């Protein structure tokens, strides 16, 4: 401590050289730097260890893909809530295509309610509203609902894969994997 | 009776209530001499007398007593989760009055050239045992008694078991975060949920370093530090306590506004179709489609925000905040105005939403960057 | 009469025993000297100074809110420990345990005391802050202690928020869903926050739904088993530990900054 206080005082520089201290100014700064760098490295090392510890390699979460029956199970213009509870997906059938819409509000993750009389999904948490196709039109939701990958299996059943999602604002809804043509 | 409820329902629509509170606010807590003069001429300072307290509490108790005759209001107030908020409202009003009552007394004494009450008291020294220890002991017993009675009379809220696929309607945050939830309606989560809370925290910590008024330490006063009290009351009372009350009493299913005596109709329709500023500029005023270049598209929004945070402090330092600027110096003043502008941006955004249906000033959903 | 004098002597006898005097060094604080010594000698009473200016003990001035916040915190600690005897933080058992705590435990109001106490603590902490502001007590030399107070305020709300999830009812998971999605919107380190796409090398994105701020909070991609356990640990160990450290500093600084504020 006394070292640092004297060396930091410019007027006493000469004295130190004359007094022939065991550590001169330059090597003191050098050691100080090395010391602090080592301290920072150790701290950073522990920090990143802890940080990494928060993210496990294996997750025991429910299956992300499921069979959703046949196209004929769905009526034209209908929003099916069959898989809402178990998988968090609405199956929507339009004139020419069928797609799987996520039931997670893009605002803060609540589950909107499908209100058939008004033809919209309405989120109870902060009042976001989405049209039947998932486009947001009212309330705070910043972007449309997400769609999931959907395809026909060999047996003609619909397969929904939730690991792959398609976002409208990135123009991904035109991706042929995001819907099944009827 | 029904008529009165109808009137209250209309008046408490936040679109009417909030602006009127904002307007009235500056007369009740005047931040400068000019408004203080008006405040005194209107005798608003007399709210903080004992008579004022009687009127204040009669109004408050009257409102709740009257409200409890209404089944819809009853349902909200009787919900166990809302009990602390009703308690909070009464406590805040009481302590607000208590502090302002003492402030008023002290201000009058100071105007007469006397010392504040606390300074008179402070001349006498007393022993902590028994004087303070016993007060603490009594307070502690009262508090424990209150808590135990509360716990015996009211069951702690417990709803149905968690169900990840059904959000309750309405779903409300814990009551002390309802102010944040209200902000979330007007701002994106990264602002309302992350940036603003951080700024609020830092801003609160910065208060003692910004407020360089040495007067008013250790005694209740209003006139010695009206600017500070006025701003703090605005942030705490209006932007926090009031928004919590709004979230509790006025927000219903689908997060729509409902009057306190209105039936919570799930199918109440409210046209909330919102437009971004860029859409206003290009599609409505210039009558063309949105440009594909994002920066060009949102240029107006960026410009407005740059002006708001860049130019406004400069202009204010020459006009309205001239005195403050001189008192605080450049650094303090910049921090102060930026914080203040951030706080004021909430009412501004509310106003834009209500008056023009503006959703975002800058809207870049591609990068989750919306303001 | 004789009965009374007997009683008195009994008290005197007790207070003169070796055991009593070993515990209470100063005796019953009757005279001025003893009253000063009792404050100086006790480890807990030593939080206070011996003498104070008169305004500083008036309830009108102090509102008692700081002290009550601390008291309610102690109540919460005790009831919280008691709740831990019966509560298991798993999706399967949590809700049932909460019901059993009320139905199957004699005098089952511990959870009520804990829950209402948590609300009460938020209120008392706010009112304490309000009082400190209104008396201008944050002004020099107490600036730093005000900042500590702000941290304590935030920690109080975080404690309350983490406790919110534990009953595992509808209120709980949706409040936490909303809260954790806000973490997901953090700039740079949240998947749905601005700038998260910048942290990428080529096509490999570092910030995904299983490696962002929200995930660290929940221990999963949605509010489930992992989130319940993480919130439980934070609520029972992590945050109380941190808040206690800050409380110690807060109380210490109250004394070191010259005691409770007053007009100079």
Chain B residues touching A106 at Cβ < 8 A: none
Pairing of strands A89-93, A79-80: antiparallel
Total residue length of chain C: 264
Report the C-alpha gap between C89 and C103 in whole angstroms.
19
Q: What is the mean pLDDT of chain C?
A: 89
* Structural domains of chain A, count: 3
Looking at the fold, whether A89 and A157 belong to one and the same domain comes out as yes
Residue spans per domain, chain C: 1-51, 52-256
Alpha-carbon distances of B268 from A78, A115, B258, rounded to whole Å: 23, 12, 9
Nearest to C135 among B125, B147, B220 (CB): B220
- Nearest residue of chain B to residue A89 (CA atoms): B165
**CATH architecture of the domain covering C52-256:** Up-down Bundle (1.20)
Q: Which tens digit of pLDDT belongs to each residue from C151-166?
A: 999 999 999 999 999 9
Q: Is C73 on the interface with A (CB under 8 A)?
A: no
CB contact (8 A) between residue C182 and residue A108 = yes
Distance of CA B212 to the CA centre of its chain: 24
Phi, psi of B369 (to 5 degrees): -110, 95
| Cross-chain residue pair A55–C181, CB shorter than 8 Å | no
What pLDDT, on the 0 to 100 scale, is given for residue C3?
54
Q: Provide the pLDDT for residue A41.
A: 97
Out of B181, B187, B254, name the one closest to residue A122 (CB).
Answer: B254
* Same domain as A158, residue A128: no
Is A146 within 8 Å of B297 (Cβ atoms)? no
- CA angle, A170 then A176 then A177, to 5°: 85
Total Cβ atoms within 10 A of residue C6: 9
**Prior bond to B170 cis, omega within 30?**
yes
Torsional sign, CA B320, B324, B330, B335: negative
- pLDDT confidence of residue C7: 62
Average pLDDT over residues C95-104: 91
**CB burial readout C214-225, b (16+ within 10 A) else e:** bbbbbbbbbbbb
- Tally of helices (H runs) and strands (E runs) in chain B: 18, 3
Mapped onto helix, strand or coil, the DSSP state of residue B215 is coil
Give the pLDDT score at B315: 92
Do A97 and A158 lie in one domain? The reply is: yes
* Residues composing chain A: 182
- Calculate the average pLDDT of chain B: 89
Residue A1 is predicted with a pLDDT of 38
Which residues does C241 contact at the CB level (< 8 Å), separation at least 6?
A: none
Q: Taking CB atoms and an 8 Å limit, are A125 and B189 in contact across chains? A: no
Local structure of residue C145 (DSSP, 8 states): H
- Which residues from chain B sit within 8 angstroms of residue C71, using beta carbons? 140, 143-144
**pLDDT tens sequence across C179-213:** 888 888 888 888 878 877 777 777 777 777 777 88
Could you tell me if A100 and A171 lie in one domain? yes
Please report the pLDDT score of residue C199 as a whole number: 76
Residue A74, CA distances (Å) to A68, A70, A97, A159 in order? 10, 8, 11, 14
pLDDT at B272: 65
Q: Are residues A48 and A90 in the same domain?
A: no
| Co-location of A82 and A165 in the same domain | yes
Residues in chain A closer than 8 A to B366 (CB atoms): 169-170
C119 to each of B149, B175, B283, C125, C230, how far by Cα in Å?
14, 9, 49, 10, 22
Q: Which of C92, C174, C187, C194 to mutate to test the interface with A (most CBs of A within 10 A)?
A: C174
Q: Is the Cβ of A122 closer than 8 Å to some Cβ of chain B?
A: yes
Cβ pair A56:C211 closer than 8 A: no
Subunit partners of chain B (3 or more CB pairs within 8 A): A, C
- The tally of CA atoms less than 13 A away on the side-chain side of residue C127 is 28
Contacts of C49 by beta carbon, 8 Å cutoff, 6+ apart:
B128, C39, C255, C259
Chain C contacts of A60, Cβ < 8 Å? 225
Say yes or no: A120 and A37 in one domain: no
Residues from chain A that touch C220, judged by Cβ atoms under 8 A, are 59, 61
Examine the domain organization and report whether A17 and A71 are in the same domain.
no
Which chain C residues touch A61 with a CB distance below 8 Å? Answer: 220-222, 224
Q: What is the pLDDT of residue A17?
A: 52
| Ranges of chain B with pLDDT below 70 | 269-272
Chain C nearest C-alpha distance from A79 (Å)? 24
Q: What is the nearest CA distance from C92 to chain A, expressed in angstroms?
A: 15
Print burial letters for C94-110: b (CB count within 10 Å at least 16), e (below 16): bbebbeebeeeeeeebb
Of A115, A126, A170, the CB nearest to B255: A126
Q: Residue A19: which pLDDT band, with cuts at 50, 70 and 90? A: low
Which of B232-236, C28-32, C48-52, C126-130 is predicted least confidently?
C28-32
pTM flag (> 0.95): no
pLDDT at A152 over 80: yes
pLDDT score of C20 more than 80: yes
A7 with A43, same domain: the answer is yes
Q: Which residue has the higher pLDDT, B193 or A11?
A: B193
Residue A127's domain comprises 111-142
Three-state DSSP class for B271?
A: coil
């Amino acid at each position: 401590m006394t070292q640092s206080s004297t060396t930091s005082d410019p007027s006493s520089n000469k004295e130190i050289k004359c007094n022939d201290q065991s550590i001169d100014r330059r090597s003191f700064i050098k050691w100080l730097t090395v010391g602090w760098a080592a301290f920072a490295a150790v701290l950073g090392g522990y920090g990143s260890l802890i940080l990494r510890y928060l993210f496990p390699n294996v997750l025991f979460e429910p299956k992300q893909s499921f069979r959703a029956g046949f196209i004929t199970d769905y009526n034209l213009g209908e929003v099916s809530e069959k898989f809402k509870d178990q998988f968090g997906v609405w199956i929507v059938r339009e004139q020419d295509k069928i797609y799987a819409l996520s039931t997670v509000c893009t605002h803060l993750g609540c589950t909107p309610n499908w209100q058939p009389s008004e033809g919209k999904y309405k989120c109870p948490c902060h009042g976001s509203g989405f049209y039947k196709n998932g486009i947001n039109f009212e309330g705070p939701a910043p972007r449309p609902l997400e769609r999931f990958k959907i395809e026909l299996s060999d047996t003609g059943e619909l397969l929904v894969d939730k690991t792959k999602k398609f976002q409208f604002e990135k123009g991904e809804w035109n991706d042929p994997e995001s819907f099944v043509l009827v | 009776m029904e008529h009165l409820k109808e009137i209250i329902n209309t008046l408490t629509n936040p679109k009417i209530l909030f602006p009127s509170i904002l307007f009235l606010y500056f007369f009740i807590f005047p931040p400068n001499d000019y408004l203080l003069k008006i405040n005194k001429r209107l005798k608003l300072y007399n709210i903080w007398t004992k008579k004022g307290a009687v009127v204040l509490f009669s109004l408050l108790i009257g409102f709740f007593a009257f409200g409890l005759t209404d089944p819809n209001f009853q349902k909200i107030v009787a919900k166990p989760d809302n009990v602390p908020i009703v308690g909070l409202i009464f406590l805040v009003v009481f302590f607000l009055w208590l502090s302002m009552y003492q402030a008023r007394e002290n201000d009058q004494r100071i105007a007469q050239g006397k010392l504040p009450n606390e300074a008179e008291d402070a001349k006498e020294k007393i022993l902590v045992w028994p004087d303070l220890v016993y007060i603490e002991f009594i307070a502690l017993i009262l508090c424990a008694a209150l808590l135990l009675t509360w716990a015996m009379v009211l069951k702690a809220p417990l709803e149905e078991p968690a169900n990840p696929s059904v959000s309750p309607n309405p779903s409300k945050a814990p009551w002390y975060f309802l102010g944040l939830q209200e902000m979330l309606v007007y701002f994106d989560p990264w602002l309302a949920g992350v940036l603003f809370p951080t700024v609020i925290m830092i801003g609160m910590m910065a208060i003692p370093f910004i407020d360089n008024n040495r007067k008013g330490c250790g005694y209740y006063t209003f006139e010695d530090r009206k600017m500070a009290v006025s701003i703090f009351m605005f942030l705490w009372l209006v932007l926090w306590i009031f928004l919590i009350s709004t979230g509790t009493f006025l927000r219903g299913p689908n997060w729509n506004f409902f009057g306190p005596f209105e039936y919570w109709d799930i199918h109440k329709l409210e046209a909330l179709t919102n437009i971004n500023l860029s859409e206003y500029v290009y599609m409505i005023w210039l009558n063309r489609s949105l440009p594909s270049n994002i920066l060009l598209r949102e240029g107006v929004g960026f410009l407005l925000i740059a002006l708001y945070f860049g130019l406004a402090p400069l202009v204010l330092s020459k006009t309205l905040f001239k005195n403050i600027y001189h008192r605080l110096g450049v650094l303090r003043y910049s921090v102060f105005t930026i914080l203040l502008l951030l706080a004021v941006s909430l009412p501004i955004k509310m106003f834009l939403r209500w008056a023009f249906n503006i959703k975002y000033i800058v809207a870049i959903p591609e990068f989750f960057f919306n303001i | 009469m004789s009965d009374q004098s007997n009683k008195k002597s009994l008290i005197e006898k007790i207070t003169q025993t070796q055991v009593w005097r070993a515990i209470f060094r100063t005796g019953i604080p009757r005279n001025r000297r003893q009253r000063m010594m009792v404050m100086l000698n006790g480890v807990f009473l030593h939080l206070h100074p011996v003498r104070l200016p008169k305004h500083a003990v008036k309830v009108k001035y102090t509102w008692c809110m700081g002290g009550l916040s601390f008291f309610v915190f102690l109540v919460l600690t005790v009831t919280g420990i008691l709740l831990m005897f019966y509560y298991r933080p798993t999706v399967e058992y949590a809700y049932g345990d909460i019901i059993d705590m009320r139905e199957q435990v004699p005098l089952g109001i511990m959870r009520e005391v804990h829950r209402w106490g948590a609300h009460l603590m938020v209120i008392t902490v706010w009112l304490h802050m309000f009082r400190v502001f209104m008396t201008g007590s944050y002004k020099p030399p107490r600036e730093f202690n005000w900042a500590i107070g702000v941290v304590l305020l935030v920690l109080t709300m975080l404690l309350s928020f983490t406790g919110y999830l534990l009953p595992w009812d509808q209120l709980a998971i949706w409040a936490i869903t909303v809260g954790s999605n806000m973490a997901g919107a953090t700039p740079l380190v949240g998947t749905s926050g601005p700038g998260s796409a910048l942290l990428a090398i080529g096509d490999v994105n570092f910030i995904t739904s299983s490696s962002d701020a929200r995930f660290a909070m929940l221990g999963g991609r949605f509010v489930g088993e992992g989130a319940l356990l993480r919130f439980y640990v934070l609520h029972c160990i992590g945050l109380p530990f941190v808040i206690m450290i800050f409380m110690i500093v807060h109380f210490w600084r109250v004394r070191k900054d010259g005691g409770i504020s007053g007009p100079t």
